[in-house]
Amino acid sequence: MRKISESTVRRLCGYLRLLEEFQRAGKTTVSSDELALRGHTTPAQVRKDLSFFGSFGKRGLGYDVCDLTERLRDIMGLDKNYRVALIGAGKIGSALVQYRGFSDRGFDIVSVYDNDETKVGTSWGDVAVRHVSALESDLAVAPIQIAIIATPASEAQATLDRLVQLGIKAVLNFAPTQLDHPADVTVQNVNMAVELETLSYALRSCG
Amino acid sequence: MRKISESTVRRLCGYLRLLEEFQRAGKTTVSSDELALRGHTTPAQVRKDLSFFGSFGKRGLGYDVCDLTERLRDIMGLDKNYRVALIGAGKIGSALVQYRGFSDRGFDIVSVYDNDETKVGTSWGDVAVRHVSALESDLAVAPIQIAIIATPASEAQATLDRLVQLGIKAVLNFAPTQLDHPADVTVQNVNMAVELETLSYALRSCG
DNA sequence: TACTATTTGTGAATCATTTCACAAACAGTC
DNA sequence: GACTGTTTGTGAAATGATTCACAAATAGTA
Ligand SMILES: NC(=O)c1ccc[n+]([C@@H]2O[C@H](COP(=O)([O-])OP(=O)(O)OC[C@H]3O[C@@H](n4cnc5c(N)ncnc54)[C@H](O)[C@@H]3O)[C@@H](O)[C@H]2O)c1
Ligand SMILES: NC(=O)c1ccc[n+]([C@@H]2O[C@H](COP(=O)([O-])OP(=O)(O)OC[C@H]3O[C@@H](n4cnc5c(N)ncnc54)[C@H](O)[C@@H]3O)[C@@H](O)[C@H]2O)c1
C-alpha cells in the first residue's frame, strides 16, 4: 500500500477521538465538515485522509459514526491490546504508570524497570519495579510490543540498543536526545523542551 | 520576514542541542555534514534551515560552534528567561515541576495552580500550590509568559479561555484534546496518546 | 601568486502535501 | 419517478518542503 504521511496518521488519531466524543453525545452520523471544524482542519483534508484507506462514507449523508470509528481503529491497529514496558522508574515514569488514559486505549504498562537497587522491588501501582538486568529473561517469557524509555538522556541510547537487540520494533522516548536506530524500528519522541522552545520562537514578536 | 515552517523550527532546536554537545566536547567548528549526520537530516537541509535567517558559516570551514550557538539562541528567543505557570498540580504536573531540564534552559516554573483545596498550600519544590482562583490577581502582580495546562481534559478548554483572557500568548497543553484559541495565541500540544497510536499504526505490518 | 581541497549559500528541480472543484451518489419530498 | 439539496470521493492544480547541483568563498600549501 502507498506510504501514508505521518501528518495523515496523526490526524486520524484526532478523528478517532472526535468520533468517540460524537458517539458519547449520541450522534449517529457525521460529515467531513463537522470533523474538520472540530479537528482544526478542512473537509477536503478529512476526506483525502480517509480516501487513502477506502471510502467509508455515504454521499449526501456523511459517515456513520460507529462504522467509521471501527474502521479507523482497524486501520490504526487499535483493535488489539499492547503490552508496554517502562524503562526508568523516575518522575515522569511515575506519572505514566499511574495514568489511566493509556490502558483505556489498550496500552497496558505491564512492567517497570530501573537500575537503582533502592527502587527495585517497590510496588508501582499493579506492578513491582524490576531490575533492568532482568529485561532479557523477562521478555523471553512474556513478550512486549512497545517500550517506553524514561531514563536519563545519558542512558537512553544504550537502553534503546538493548531493546532493539531484543527485537522491539516500537519505542516511545522521553529522553531529550535524538536516538539512532535501524529503519525497521519506530521511535517516537516526546520532547517537551522542543515544544517549549517552539513557544519561545513564537513569542519572539510579542515583546 | 518570510514564514518559517514548524519543521524548520524544530530542527533548529535539534541543532542547538547538538551544538551544545559539540561545545562541551571542545569542538570549535562544525560543518553542515556533521550536524546533519548527528541530527538525522541532510547537509543541504541544515544549510537551507540556517539560510532563512542569514549566513553564519565560512565557506571551506563550516560554522563556529560558539557563534552559531549564540545566533540560534537569539533566533529562537532563548537568550532570555521565561516565567512559566503550571495549571493542574497532578501526576504529570508533579513530574514537570521537579524536572530540572526546563529551568536549565531558561523556563522557570514560578507558580503552580490547582482547584483542589486539599492541594492548595502544599509545597511543591520551591513554590506553594495556589488556588486557581488567584490566577488573575497573581498575574496582575507578577506576569508570566508561558502557561502549562495539566488539568483533566474536561477542564482544559475553560482553563485555556481564562489564560487567553489574561493575555497569555503561549501555552503548552498536556490534555489529550484539541483546544480552540485565537490565532495570535500559540498552543503546543504534548499528546502522548497520539504518539502511542502512531506506534500502533507502525506495528500493523509487524504481526 | 597560483593551485588544491573544502564547504557554504542558494536558485532550480524534484518530491510531498494540501486545496480546489466537480461529477457521482444518495435521502427526502412532492 | 423526477427534482432538490447534500455530501462524498477524487483527479487536477496549487502550494509547500526537501534535495540537487554548482558557483563563490576560504584556508592551506608551495
Ligand atoms: N520529569 C519530567 O518532567 C521530564 C520532562 C521532559 C523530559 N524528561 C526526560 O525523561 C527522562 C526521565 O526523567 P525523570 O525526570 O523521570 O528522571 P528521574 O531521574 O526521576 O528518573 C530516571 C530513572 O531512570 C533510572 N535509570 C537510570 N539509568 C537507567 C538504566 N540504564 N536503566 C533503567 N533505569 C535507569 C534512574 O534510576 C531513575 O529512577 C529524562 O531523560 C528526562 O530528560 C523528563
Ligand atoms: N499522567 C500522565 O502520565 C499523563 C499522560 C498523558 C496525558 N496526561 C494528561 O495530563 C492531564 C493531567 O493528567 P494527570 O495524570 O496529572 O491528572 P491528575 O488528575 O493527577 O491531575 C490533574 C490535576 O488538575 C487539578 N484540576 C482539575 N481541574 C482544575 C482546574 N479547573 N484548574 C486547576 N486545576 C484543576 C486536579 O485537582 C488535579 O490535581 C490530563 O489531561 C491527562 O489526560 C497525563
The cell numbers describing B15, all together, are 541543532
| 8 Å CB contact of B200 and A172 | no
pLDDT of A2 above 90: no
Q: Percentage of chain B surpassing pLDDT 70? A: 99
Nearest CA among B164, B181, B163 for reference residue B85: B163
For residue B177, which residues of chain A lie inside 8 Å, CB to CB?
A: 17
* Residue pLDDT, tens place only, A36-58: 999 999 999 999 999 999 999 99
pLDDT recorded at residue B75? 97
Q: How far is the CA of B44 from the C1' of C12 (A)?
A: 14
Which of B10, B186, B193 lies at the smallest CB-CB distance from A199? B186
- Closest ligand (CA of B17): 1
Distance B172 CA to D13 C1' (A): 37
pLDDT of residue A84: 98
* Mean pLDDT score across all residues of chain B: 96
Instruction: Kindly write down the DSSP assignment for every residue of B99-148, as one continuous string.
Output: -HHHHHTTEEEEEEEES-TTTTT-EETTEEEEEGGGHHHHHHHS--SEEE
**What tens digit of pLDDT does each residue of A170-184 get?**
999 999 999 999 999
Does B8 contact strand D, using a CB cutoff of 7 Å?
yes
Q: Kindly determine whether residue A199 and residue B170, on different chains, have CB atoms separated by under 8 Å.
A: yes
Residue A185 scores a pLDDT above 90: yes
Residue B36: other Cβ atoms inside 10 A? 18
Ligand with an atom nearest the CA of residue A190: 1
Sequence length of chain B is 207
Of B147, B145, B138, nearest in space to B120 by CA: B138
pLDDT of res. A125: 84
Please state which of the ranges A122-126, A188-192, B56-60, B76-80 shows the lowest mean pLDDT: A122-126
Q: What are the extents of the domains in chain B?
A: 6-75, 82-194
Yes or no: domain B6-75 corresponds to CATH 1.10.10.10: yes
Flag whether pLDDT at A207 surpasses 70: no
Which residue has the least CA–C1' distance to nucleotide C27? A60
| Cβ–ligand 2 contact at B22 (below 6 Å) | no
Q: In this predicted model, what pLDDT tens digit does every residue of B180-199 receive, in sequence order?
A: 999 999 999 999 999 999 99
Per-residue pLDDT, averaged over B129-134, amounts to 98
The tens digit of pLDDT for each residue in A64-107 reads: 999 999 999 999 999 999 999 999 999 999 999 999 999 999 99
Is any ligand 2 atom within 6 A of the Cβ of residue B91?
yes
Beta carbons of B190 and B172 less than 8 angstroms apart: yes
Q: What is the pLDDT of residue B12?
A: 98
Inter-chain touch B197–A13, beta carbons under 8 Å: yes
Q: Who among B76, B172, B196 is closest to A102 (CB)?
A: B196
Letter for the amino acid at B201? Y
State the Cα–Cα distance between residues B64 and A197, nearest whole angstrom.
22
* Separation CA B142–CA B139 (nearest Å): 5
Average pLDDT of the residues of chain A: 96
For strand D, is any atom closer than 7 Å to the CB of A93? no
- Asked if pLDDT for residue B207 goes beyond 70, the answer is no
pLDDT of B200 higher than 90:
yes
- Residue B2 reports pLDDT greater than 90: no
Residue lying closest to nucleotide D6, CA to C1': A60
Nearest chain A residue to B205 by CA: give it: A77
Alpha-helical segments (H) within A100-191: 100-104, 135-141, 153-165
A82-194 — its CATH code?
3.40.50.720
